[in-house]
Amino acid sequence: MAGRSNLPCYRKRQDPKTLHNFKRVGILCPNTPAFLESIYGIAAAGAINVAVNYRLKKDDISYIFAHGEADVVIVDQEFLPLLEGFRKAHPEVPFIVDADTDATEGELSGPFDEAVLEGLKSDREQGNQGWAGLVTQVANEEDVMALAYTSGTTARPKGVEFTHRGAYLAALANVIESGLNYHLTIASRFVDFTDGWTFPWAVTAVRGTHYCLRKIDYPEIWRLLKEEQITHFNAAPTVNTLLCNAKEAERLKDPVRVTVAASPPTAHLFEQMTNLNLLPVHVYGLTETYGPITKGYHMPAWEEMPLEEKYRRMARQGHGFLTSLPVRVVKTDVPEGSVVDVEKNGKEIGEIVYTGNICAKGYYKDAEATRKLWAGGVSHSGDLAVWHPDGAVQILDRAKDIIISGGENISSLALESMLVTHPDVLEAACVAVADSHWGERPKAFVTIKEGKQLKGEDLIDWAKHKSDISKFMVPREVEIVTELPKTSTGKLQKNVLREWAKGGNRTMAK
């Protein structure tokens, strides 16, 4: 991969007619070799990569490349139509098109392949030096290496500034916390934006093998797991849920370590995964923390607990990474800028905050948002959680997703975790709807497993008899849907569900 990654670095430094003066390289690709090769070459050349999620709206994609000041864009040919608006507004920005082929001499299929061959030629001329020939142009480890844009569900996406130092330490943490090693083979779907939780660097650092999956294909994932000796993969809870319920699912002979992140998982999901020999490594983080920053560290004492409690402990967000300072939970009912820890009693609710090596510098060209992010000298997550006596944090909800009914706080996550234990339920999402008496009440949107039938009123009746939730938490309305709206990383789009609950347009938002 060293020779292939040499392409942007080589062309930036050697060819004045191509990338010589380019400082910010946009990337609009799925999880293909082109993405993987590009982020290495761009970083080595001292340029900044602006990788964009291709599932965003067209105008958001155009906004990001314009806001991030991309002066060249590497784009998969499938997604060229998404750049029509950007190309019209910025005709001066050249595109390097990738056809997603494995380029060999004599079989050129596009500009990116030509650039790959230039890199390979350069490497040969230097004596096939591989990584040793990939000379970096980075003057300062605190230089910005990438702009990773947030999903922008309620406002314009914000460009999170990643530095070389931060990315290195985050990748090192992933090597340690996910148990990566030389024998690693990883099948991953999440390296096409936000720089893949820094796993592209972590896997290569231990000389592991990358399996790049262009799209989520559950039969193909199971084939790889069974036939290619995959040892690790990364996926959001929603992907793992559908993987566990695929018709190809069966217990694997050898264990596979699965890094689970992007949204809070349920204890029920971890039980399903473990039964298939998919061993969860539960991590939590944000774009603002280069991806994961906490891990649910498995404790030997958990093996003596009832299974339900064991999996509930596994679903906690846990403790801060080795390369980070401890994650904290702080009070929210204090003046802005004040930072006061909640009690470590597993009951008092506060906001998760971070400090340390793997917190992003801030938001590009947004001083006010950066000030709010770092109010009080800590990086704010917006996630509400409790802090347990053993130091583990456990998310209860996003601040905006808490349901306040009759003065009682209802965690939508706790309610969803209960609903998915019904044998016919595949996924569940709960939001607040207005109520003239209680102020708010929960409404549940539910998808059903293939071949099963379930009515909303039957699920409500079942929930009333569950002992692990209070009666006031039981949703009074359950709507069965064919699909839940999600972001490209598998997070539920509760802003969309709230509009659905109000009778809004049912068009799926991405």
User: Using CA atoms, how far apart are residues 437 and 406, in angstroms rounded to an integer?
Assistant: 8
DSSP for 118-145 reads HHHHHHHHTTS-GGGG-----S-TTSEE
Percent helix / strand / coil, the chain, rounded to 5: 35, 25, 40
Query: pTM for the complete prediction?
Result: 0.83
For residues 134 and 466, which has the higher predicted lDDT (pLDDT)? 466
163-397 — its CATH code?
3.40.50.12780
pLDDT of residue 491: 80
Res 461 pLDDT > 80: yes
Res 103 pLDDT > 60: no
Give SS3 for 90: coil
User: Using CA atoms, how far apart are residues 27 and 54, in angstroms rounded to an integer?
Assistant: 9
Res 453 pLDDT > 70: yes
Beta partners for residue 431, in sequence order: 443
The domain segmentation of the chain, as residue ranges, is 24-137, 163-397, 401-502
Most confident of 13-27, 174-188, 402-416: 402-416
User: How far is Cα of residue 223 from the mean position of the Cα atoms in its chain?
Assistant: 24
| 33 contacts: CB under 8 Å, gap ≥ 6 | 4, 100, 102, 212
Q: Where are the alpha helices (DSSP H) in 69-110?
A: 84-89
| Mean pLDDT calculated for residue range 457-462 | 95
| CA-wise closest residue to 315 among 403, 200, 395 | 395
Res 507 pLDDT > 70: no
Beta partners for residue 363, in sequence order: 160
111 band by pLDDT with thresholds 50, 70 and 90? confident
* Percent over 70 (pLDDT), the chain: 87
CATH topology of domain 24-137: Rossmann fold (3.40.50)
- Looking at domain 401-502, its CATH superfamily turns out to be ANL, C-terminal domain (3.30.300.30)
Average predicted confidence (pLDDT) for the chain: 87
Are 446 and 478 a contacting pair, CB within 8 Å?
Answer: yes
pLDDT of residue 218: 94
195 band by pLDDT with thresholds 50, 70 and 90? low
User: Using CA atoms, how far apart are residues 240 and 15, in angstroms rounded to an integer?
Assistant: 45
Most confident of 36-50, 128-142, 274-288: 274-288
Relative to beta strand 278-286, strand 291-295 is antiparallel
Crossing angle for the helix pair 267-275 and 237-244, nearest 10 degrees? 50
Say yes or no: do domains 24-137 and 163-397 share a fold: yes
Q: What angle do CA 398, 404, 407 make, to 5 degrees?
A: 140
Torsion of CA 450, 454, 455, 457, to 10 degrees: -140
User: Using CA atoms, how far apart are residues 166 and 290, in angstroms rounded to an integer?
Assistant: 8
| CA-wise closest residue to 259 among 188, 353, 201 | 188
pLDDT of residue 216: 87
Residues recorded for the chain: 510
